[in-house]
Amino acid sequence: MTFQTQPDLTRANAYERRFARVIEHVHAHLDEPLDLDQLADIAAMSRWHWHRVWQACFGETVVAMVRRLRMQRAATALARGETDLERLAREAGYGSLAAFTRAFRQSYGLPPATYRDEGPHRRFDKDWTPPAMMRPADPGALPMHDIVIRQEPPRVLAGIPHKGPYIEIGRAFEHLIGSLASRGLMDKAGMMIGFYYSDPSVVPEQDLRSVAAVELRQDIALSAPLERVESPAQRYAVLRHKGPYADMHAAYDWLYGTWLPASGHEPADAPTMEIYLNNPRDTAPSDLLTEICLPLK
């Protein structure tokens, strides 16, 4: 006879606190050299085993996470027109611009300056002409940004609130994964979804409100820091975005500034939703797929 053991919530909460301390330390000290032994001490766990526990729960090493976060920050700055590549290289932890350029190209497929000037985010600019190497033989075949009108079903989710720049919601998602993993709930987790409640054109970045959430395959009781999130059935205009999260600001500007006024539709009084179709921990930034869902009346 076999018995199904229930998770020890006291021990689970201990691991959850360990994960939370490490996540907050990494995000607060992203510009500093990474000290793996220090992270093990912060987690209050054996240096021999801590990193294996982290990788098993999060699907990537702490080193890979820090590298990914630094590169994402650099890509965001470049998409916004940053020109000081030497500074970006230092902030990303590289001792030379050449080393940073090689690493950035490996992650994003383009060297930093080319990404800034010709990257995927530029395809949403009204006056942008693709460089010759990106133009199809038939000028009429230039890519359009297809919008699908879709009815989404009601959902019950577990979420963790985030306050601050939307591009930094990854921190809340890391806390979410840590909480689910420490409680043995990963098998009940479905799609990762973000809800964005504030208008970034009028709300200061530090005050933006969003929620990192995961759809639940069954309705279960939740406790802090997890919160129950209910998303009602809603009709959306859906733009499937392929590419780095850093490029999505331009996609939003196109969706709201070009498509919506010409569409005849009106937005509903509900938050924008992002559905993440793959995982940045095992997917190259250029291959990330995100559905940007604009609620409609």
Per-residue pLDDT of the chain (297 residues; tens, 9 = 90+): 333 344 455 555 888 999 999 999 999 999 888 898 999 999 998 888 888 899 999 999 999 999 999 999 999 999 989 999 999 999 999 999 999 999 999 999 999 999 999 887 776 655 544 444 333 344 343 344 789 999 999 999 999 999 999 999 999 999 999 999 999 999 999 999 999 999 988 999 999 999 999 999 988 899 999 999 999 999 999 999 999 998 888 889 889 988 999 999 999 999 999 999 999 999 999 899 999 999 999
Would you state the pLDDT for residue 247? Answer: 86
Burial (CB count within 10 angstroms: exposed 0-12, middle 13-18, buried 19+), residue 151: exposed
DSSP letter string over 190-243? EEEEEEE-S-TTTS-GGG-EEEEEEEESS-----TT-EEEEE--EEEEEEEEES
Single-letter residue type at 184 = G
pTM: 0.85
The token pair that represents 100 in the structure block: 């940073």
Q: In whole angstroms, give the CA distance from residue 51 to residue 64.
A: 12
Whole-Å CA distances, 230 to 20, 36, 173, 216: 25, 38, 17, 10
Spatial separation of the C-alpha atoms in residues 212 and 292, rounded to whole Å: 14
